[in-house]
Amino acid sequence: MSTPGRTSRLVDVSPSRKELELEIPDEDFRKEFEKTLDEYVGRAKLPGFRKGHAPRDMVRKMFDHDIEHDVYDSLIPRVLGEELEGLRLNPVNVPVLRDLKREEGGPVRCTAAFEVLPDFELPDYRAVQVKRRTAEVTDADVDKAVDELRARASEYVPVQGRGAADGDYVVVEMQGRDLRTKRLLPVEKAVVLAGHAENEPALNEQLRGMAAGEERAFRVEYPKDHANKRVAGKNIDYSLKVRDIKERKVPEPTDDFARSIGHAGGIGDLRERIRKDLLEARERAGRSEAASEVLAGIAARVSLELPESVVEQETLSVLKRMLSAVRDRRIAPEALESLKAEARRQAVDHLRNHLILEKIARKEGFGVGEEEVQAEIRSLAQANQVSEAAVADMLNREGRREELVESLLFRKTVDFLMKTAIMS
């Protein structure tokens, strides 16, 4: 009880859900009422009276209901805040009021329901066992990466002295006519990869051997269950004209090719760079997998009820990121439900790991110094090819400096857990 006559009783509904029963003395209500009435008198503009000079009793009689509601809106949140501070409770959502009661001359009674981040006991996090991971890069891995670079460096050159062949890129102009209705379909101009499995088989057949400028006609009888509903079940006569043909030229894996993409030492230098980059990437991936396994091992031994409001908020954030990644694709209702379930699973894992890392960092006395923050800003600036001042300004402007510090603290905690984990 922080004020004479005021009482409160905390009810633990669950580790994360609490209820606080409040009783506010009538004296406090009356003081707040008189203060609010003074404000109404100062603002009231009633017929026959100058603004702020209407009789107090008249203003009270006219606005009694409104004044009472304003009193509740100001008094209860203030008292609730004081009581929560005294109990050292920090709700993660806006408290919900219910059972508001007051009889004339009696105290104001109500109950505030809210959620908090629950306290929990840490297990022996130094004894978690995880599988040791070894990163390897084979010659075949390097060959594949070189081939991908060669594919990206491909050139498309006009075909000379022959017709179109599978694998060529052919610029075509097509128009169809429905045999039954005699109706012409719109003219289609497109670049077609000759021989591609997703093309209409008849189109692939006709393209083979066609020269630039050549025209052909062919008929397609579409089945009723054809994927393209516009032509399903119809017989269409097509006129086809080839405008241009280009073939793909993939450069050979030579020293000249390596130098053309910035490796002065030739193909050997390129292959060593690729091998090193692949090894570093796989080592990082292995470390990330091991870290996730360590956290999962700790989480499995922790009894932790997460506040539903926080889970819902984090789930929404995860779901937004997922939908952003597939925004150009239509999602079936069942697929959306699956995405929602996966988003919630990721949200729960993220929140649980966040609380575990936070508690371990606090227990181990970890902190992040200014030098570490500046080093991270320097690293971000180099990675994004901008100035350190620009990165620092962005972090301050967007209020993300604390987020950066937290990220560094968690990274330090994960490094600690990796060092103490038992590798098998």
Q: How far apart are CA 167 and CA 386, in angstroms?
A: 42
Q: What is the pLDDT along the chain (424 residues), one digit of tens a residue?
A: 456 678 899 999 999 999 999 999 999 999 999 999 999 999 888 888 888 888 989 999 999 999 999 999 999 999 999 999 999 999 999 999 999 999 988 999 999 999 999 989 999 988 888 888 889 999 999 999 999 999 999 999 999 889 999 999 999 999 999 999 999 999 999 999 999 999 999 999 999 999 999 999 999 999 999 888 889 999 999 999 999 999 999 999 999 999 999 999 999 999 999 999 999 999 999 988 988 899 999 999 998 899 999 999 999 999 998 888 777 677 778 888 899 999 999 999 999 999 999 999 999 999 999 999 999 999 999 988 899 999 999 999 888 899 999 999 999 999 998 888 876 6
> Where is 218: in which H helix or E strand?
strand 215-221
What value, to the nearest 5°, has the Cα angle with vertex 49 and ends 45 and 51? 40
CATH fold of 155-249: Chitinase A; domain 3 (3.10.50)
pTM (predicted TM-score): 0.69
Q: How far apart are CA 273 and CA 152, in angstroms?
A: 18
Nearest alpha carbon to residue 215 among 242, 176, 187: 242
Domain locations in the chain?
Answer: 7-115, 155-249
- What tokens appear for 247 in the block? 């073939």
- What tokens appear for 408 in the block? 């560094």
* CATH homologous superfamily, domain 7-115: Trigger factor ribosome-binding domain (3.30.70.1050)
Q: What are phi and psi of 173, to 5 degrees?
A: -130, 125
Residue 117 DSSP label: P
The partner residues of 158 in beta bridges, in order of sequence, read 246
Burial of 83 (C-beta count, 10 Å sphere; 0-12/13-18/19+): buried
Q: How far apart are CA 40 and CA 58, in angstroms?
A: 11
